[in-house]
C-alpha cells in the first residue's frame, strides 16, 4: 500500500485501489482523471452516471478544500469477472486536521462525551489503536442528493459515515479519519478498510 504523509507529524497508508483526489491541483484536473477512470471500468457507466459523478466530485472537492482536508480518496467498485452482476458503488475516505482543546488521553474521553451529547442518534465509543485511544462516531444522515459517485441521481438517500478521531501528541490537534457511503450493503467491508488504514498510522515526531 502506498504511504501518504500529511502536514501533521503523522503518516498512514491507504489501499492501492483508492484513487487519490489531489487537493493541490484544480477541480478540472481531478475531474478529467475521474472521467478517464470511470470509462475504464469493466462495465462502463452510462453518460448520465458519469455526468453525475463529475458534479458530485466537484462539490466534494470544494467542500474538502474548505474544510482543510489533508487527504481524500475514492474507492470505485463495480462488476468483475467473479461478480459480473455486481452493482456500481463508491466509498469516500478523507483525513482532516481538526483543532483540539487538549493534547492527551483526556481529549478522547471528553470528545466522546461531547459527541454523544451533540449527536444522540449516533453511535459513539472509544477504541484503542496501536497509536493510542481514539473516538469512533457512526452516523446515518438523510441527504437530498446522493453522494455515490456512480449513482445517476434520484431522490433523498441515506449516507452512513464513520469518523475516527485520533489525537496528535503534544499538539492541540486531531486527525479525523472518516469514510462515507450510501452503499450500506457493503458497510462491514468498508469499516474493515478504515480499520486497516488506522492501524498503519504512525507519529513521525
- 102-137 pLDDT, tens digit each: 555 677 888 899 889 998 999 999 999 999 999 999
Specify the pTM: 0.78
Collect all residues with Cβ–Cβ distance below 8 Å to 34 and sequence separation of at least 6. 19, 53, 54, 57, 74, 149
Cα–Cα distance measured from residue 149 to residue 34, given in angstroms and rounded to the nearest whole number: 10
The pLDDT tens digits of the residues spanning 153-193 come to: 555 678 889 999 998 887 778 899 999 888 888 999 999 99
Length of the chain: 205
Grid coordinates representing 151 are 449513482
Angle between the N-to-C axes of helices 27-39 and 47-67, in degrees from 0 to 180, rounded to the nearest 10: 140
Grid coordinates representing 179 are 469514510
98 within 8 A of 174, measured Cβ to Cβ: yes
Grid coordinates representing 164 are 475516527
Amino acid at each position: 500500500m502506498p504511504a501518504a504523509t500529511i502536514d501533521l507529524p503523522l503518516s498512514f497508508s491507504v489501499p492501492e485501489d483508492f484513487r487519490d483526489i489531489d487537493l493541490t491541483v484544480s477541480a478540472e484536473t481531478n475531474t478529467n482523471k475521474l472521467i478517464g477512470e470511470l470509462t475504464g471500468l469493466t462495465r462502463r457507466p452510462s453518460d448520465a452516471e458519469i455526468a453525475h459523478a463529475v458534479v458530485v466530485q466537484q462539490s466534494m472537492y470544494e467542500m474538502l478544500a474548505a474544510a482543510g482536508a489533508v487527504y481524500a480518496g475514492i474507492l470505485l467498485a463495480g462488476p468483475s469477472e467473479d461478480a459480473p452482476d455486481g452493482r456500481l458503488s463508491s466509498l469516500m475516505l478523507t483525513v482532516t486536521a481538526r483543532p483540539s482543546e487538549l493534547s492527551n488521553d483526556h481529549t478522547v474521553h471528553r470528545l466522546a462525551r461531547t459527541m454523544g451529547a451533540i449527536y444522540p442518534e449516533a453511535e459513539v465509543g472509544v477504541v484503542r489503536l496501536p497509536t493510542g485511544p481514539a473516538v469512533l462516531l457512526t452516523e446515518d444522515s438523510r441527504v437530498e442528493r446522493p453522494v455515490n459517485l456512480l449513482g445517476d441521481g434520484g431522490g433523498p438517500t441515506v449516507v452512513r459515515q464513520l469518523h475516527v478521531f485520533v489525537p496528535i501528541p503534544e499538539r492541540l490537534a486531531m486527525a479525523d479519519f472518516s469514510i462515507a457511503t450510501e452503499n450500506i450493503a457493503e458497510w462491514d467491508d468498508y469499516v474493515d478498510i478504515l480499520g486497516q488504514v488506522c492501524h498503519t498510522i504512525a507519529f513521525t515526531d
